[in-house]
Structure 1
Amino acid sequence: MSLELVDVTWMAGYRKIIHDVSLKVRPGEFLGLIGPNGSGKTSLMSILAGVRRPLRGKALMGGMEMHKMGRRKLAQNIGFVEQQADTTDRLTVREAVSLGRIPYLSLLSPWSSRDDEQVARALLDVDMADMAGRYWQTLSGGEKQRVHIARALAQEPKFLLLDEPTNHLDVRHQLGLLELVRALKVTAVAALHDLNHAALFCDRIAVMSEGQLVAVGTPAEILTPALLQDVFGVTAVVEQDMQGKCHIRYAVSEKQMPGA
């Protein structure tokens, strides 16, 4: 099963945010979505997740238009972690992660030991098992982010969509999270700020600029000095290691230095 956008356009008010974007996410891949702030990454992620409906074009899951599917079916297939999500409810970490099981519950399918197992596994995956009894309001920003990801994992999604998932995480948990996503048996899409993270973990990279999809390919194909200059306005050297992984070194001119 795949996710696909076909000639998608989306507007906020009178402003066109996404312009005629077509993108197919291949089954089993880890696709990174990169681009400058304001390039349309978050809006594109929302459309891929079925949260927003395109103004024009189609958003498809398994060849079927998402807006024709029920919310329950979408939630059983797509786990979406947004940038900003909070609650004023007095929830424990375990209760917050348990919300990921709601798409599977009904009068005929009440909470079971399997639901407990999925919640426990999700907490372990994000290194939050020892905080399961903590209240949401007592968590740091990074801890809350890991709980959001655990909630999405508890959904057992076929597609895991993450909008800036490493925000608020320290370096160890940034790397641990991306390693986890790469190891999971899901199709994953993550909007990422750190281009070296995209190069290290993603199978392919899609580049957004001013609401348009300007390039899609492997990290080695996409992360070139020319593209980094054109899209991000930075000068960089791109090197490849023995495994073919890209590493980006940015050149900082004197006029860019603080106090210059």
Structure 2
Amino acid sequence: MTLELRNVGWSVGFRKIVREVSLRVEPGEFLGVIGPNGSGKTSMMSVLAGIRAPSDGVALLDDQPMGKVGRRNLARRIGFVEQQADTIDRITVREAVSLGRTPYLSLLSPWSGMDDEIVANALESVAMGGMADRIWHTLSGGEKQRVHIARALAQQPDYLLLDEPTNHLDIRHQLGLLELVHDLPVTVVAALHDLNHAALFCDRIAMMDGGRLIAIGTPADILTSKNLRDVFGVEADVETASNGRCHIRYRVGGALDMDVETKKGRVA
């Protein structure tokens, strides 16, 4: 069971957004993806999820190019929760999660009791079983994110990919959501904005800048004062605990002015 990018690039017109990224996701891990705004995280995640085809290189699922896997099979293997995913439809929580079963349905395989059970289990996994009959628009931001994750889990994927899942949530719901995801029995890849969250929950961290993957390793290896200064333009002290986890303490007045050439390297 493998998910991998080999020398992947992705472009819009003549503009390179992702450049020569090689990355292999290890089974069972929680891999965090970090980088400044415009570093290419979202675009890289979309390629990794099979949503976008690479302009260069190849994205592989079990050593097979994703273009040959087929959309239905990709949707069964990879669950992708995008930033600020929403719906304008007046649907219930149960109906929203039921959409995750779409890759398994056909004229020969209609909805069954097994699908009901899978949806119910997905809702219970994110502690939303008691809200199955609630209307989508009555939910809070944190509740909606849990439903999006339940929808992805209803796909019964091997990989769960999350693009900045804690955006717009208060700190309690941020921590609760990441704790929930961390304990799920799937391989997780999450683009994260908060570096201390990455340090706390991730087994490995991939750091991006200017569309490139510039480093990958344990939180203690990646979240160094030098990397934070060079990539994020901030001065910070990093404390490493005996268990290998680390905590970042930002210095007041420690934001640096990035030079002009560095700013030019940022991509959408």
TM-score (norm 1): 0.94
The one-letter code of the counterpart of 1:142 is: G
TM-align CA RMSD: 1.6
Whole-Å Cα distance in 2 between the matches of residues 15 and 102 of structure 1?
A: 35
Shift of 1:117: 1.9
Distance in 1, Cα, partners of 2:116 & 2:83: 27
Deviations 1:161-217 (A, max 9, x none): 000011122323322222222222211100000111111111100000010110000
Corresponding residue number in structure 2 for 1:164: 164
**Structure 1 residues 131-142: aligned runs within 5 Å:** 131-142=131-142
Aligned partners of 1:123 and 1:147 also within 8 Å: yes
- Superposed CA offset, 1:36-81 (max 9, x none): 0000000000000000000110000000000112111001000000
Shift of 1:255: 8.4
Contact 1:8 1:56 in 2 (8 A): yes
Task: Determine the structure 2 residue equivalent to 1:226.
Answer: 226
AA in 1 matched with 2:163: D
Q: In structure 1, how many angstroms separate the alpha carbons of the residues matched to 2:165 and 2:61?
A: 22
State the match for 2:98 in structure 1.
98
Aligned to 1:123: 123
Equivalenced residue count is: 256
Pairing 1:184-223 to 2, within 5 Å after superposition:
184-223=184-223
Question: Per the alignment, do residues 173 and 117 of structure 1 end up closer, same or farther by CA in structure 2, a change over 3 Å counting?
Answer: farther
On the 8 A contact 2:5/2:23 being kept in 1, the answer is: yes
Question: Residue in 2 aligned with 1:145?
Answer: 145
Whole-angstrom distance in 1 between the partners of 2:137 and 2:255? 43
- State the Cα deviation string for residues 72-112 of structure 1 (Å, max 9, x = none): 10010000000032222221111000101111122332222
Partner of 1:111: 111
Q: Output the CA distance in 2 between the equivalents of 1:160 and 1:148.
A: 11
State how far apart, in whole Å, the 1-side matches of 2:254 and 2:146 are.
Answer: 38
Per the TM alignment, residue 133 of structure 1 is displaced from its structure 2 partner at its CA by: 1.2
Deviation at residue 243 of structure 1 after TM alignment: 2.0
Provide, for residues 112-135 of structure 1, a one-character-per-residue CA deviation record: whole Å limited to 9, x for no partner.
Answer: 222222211221222222221121
C-alpha spacing 1:64/1:85, structure 2 compared with 1 (3 Å): same
The answer for the alignment partner of 2:29 in structure 1 is: 29
Shift of residue 15, structure 1, vs aligned partner: 1.5
Distance 1:20 1:108, change over 3 A: same
**Normalised by the size of structure 2, how large is the TM-score?**
0.91
d(CA) in 2 for partners of 1:240, 1:96: 41
* CA distance in structure 2 between the partners assigned to 1:164 and 1:254 by the alignment: 25
What CA distance in whole angstroms lies between the structure 2 residues aligned with 1:178 and 1:111?
31
CA distance in 2, matches of 1:48, 1:89: 28
The code of the aligned residue for 2:161 comes to: L
Does structure 1 conserve the Cα–Cα contact (< 8 Å) formed by 2:101 and 2:155?
Answer: yes
Give the whole-Å Cα distance in 2 for the aligned partners of 1:78 and 1:209. Answer: 25
Q: How far has the Cα of 1:138 moved from its partner?
A: 2.4
Structure 1 unmatched runs, 5+: none
Aligned counterpart, 1:75: 75
Structure 1 window deviating more from structure 2 (164-173 vs 185-194): it is 164-173
The more displaced of 150-159 and 130-139 is 130-139
For 1:208, the aligned partner's letter is M
